[in-house]
Amino acid sequence: MAELDRLERDARARRARGHAHLSRLRQRGRVTRDGAPLRLPRRLRWLALAGAALLGSCAVPAWIALGGGGAVDAISVRGAKHLTPRQVAEATGIPRGARLADVKTEAVVQALETHDWIAHARALRWPDGRVLVEVVEREPLAALAVGPRRFALDASGAVFTELRAGEESELPLLRAEKAPEPGAADPVRAEAARLAGRLPELGLSAPDEVRVAAPGDPEGVSLRLPGLAGVVVLGTEALETRVRDLARLLEQRPDEASAAARIDLRFADQAVLRSATTREGSREASLRGGGATRTTRSAG
């Protein structure tokens, strides 16, 4: 918002010059004759005051209020990356042919901040007929896939807009069964999105799929990784720690881990592996240190 800040600094400087000029005029008006003060005629004093005011911070608003500038000549946009300048200009709500004097910057800001992509905005009218607009857009952390639809997630894990085809191509992709409520933050989704981009740093391949269960589901986040036949269940807590546990498991027991249909890392200090032939109620292989089989309780 550098340009708006510069304009505000210029306005403050004009205000200071206006006050200084007014002070000088007042001093000059107090001439003396035989030691008695003599003021300027009232009409001249009013003209001097009006001129000083126009030089101050009210110069631009006063000029606009008097009808200067006529119609809005252009809407200048700064800060837009995902949106085009045209989209931002349309989101201002300023109608075509509007008079500059009728544009209320507070209303423009309010209109802009209701747009899905815009987090903050500022607006300023300028005597050359422009309305200057600067926006701070929301930054998508990941894309959430629900069937064929794609939604943008912010840093809180909240969905803030639906993406068009191709817009999610550069974002980590999460999957879910049901579209979440717009604006509802979810720290598990947020952590899963950050983790998806960091798996190579933690010694693993970039995931083929990151799935986030519905709120309240203890499975939480699960992964499908290249080279693994099955799904890796991380749960809802300490996801990065559990990914590090997976890296150690793949290093120590690569054949068993690669062939498992399911690797559950929600248990303290161990991984529970289920083979493709395992049936409900049958014994599962639990690897802890030497790989002893034992009954376990999920840590979430």
Mean pLDDT calculated for residue range 213-230: 90
Phi, psi of 176 (to 5 degrees): -145, 160
In this structure, which CATH number among 3.40.50, 3.20.20, 3.30.420, 3.30.70 belongs to the domain 142-287? 3.40.50
Asked whether the predicted pLDDT for residue 149 surpasses 50, the reply is yes
More confident of the two residues 293 and 122: 122
Asked whether the predicted pLDDT for residue 255 surpasses 50, the reply is yes
Least confident window among 15-24, 68-77, 98-107, 192-201: 15-24
Q: Has this prediction a pTM greater than 0.85?
A: no
More confident of the two residues 33 and 151: 151
Q: Output the pLDDT for position 14.
A: 61
What gap in Å lies between CA 80 and CA 108, rounded to an integer? 16
Please enumerate, as own/partner, the contacts of 148-157 that have beta carbons within 8 Å and a separation of 24 or more: 149/179, 151/179, 151/180, 153/189, 153/190, 153/193, 155/190, 156/185, 156/186, 156/187, 156/190, 157/185, 157/186, 157/187, 157/188, 157/189, 157/190, 157/191, 157/193
The domain segmentation of the chain, as residue ranges, is 2-57, 74-137, 142-287
Asked whether the predicted pLDDT for residue 239 surpasses 70, the reply is yes
Q: How many residues does the chain have?
A: 300
Asked whether the predicted pLDDT for residue 92 surpasses 80, the reply is yes
User: pLDDT-based confidence at 136, cuts 50/70/90?
Assistant: very high
Mean pLDDT calculated for residue range 68-92: 90
In this structure, which CATH number among 3.40.50.300, 3.10.20.310, 1.10.3720.10, 3.90.1150.10 belongs to the domain 74-137? 3.10.20.310
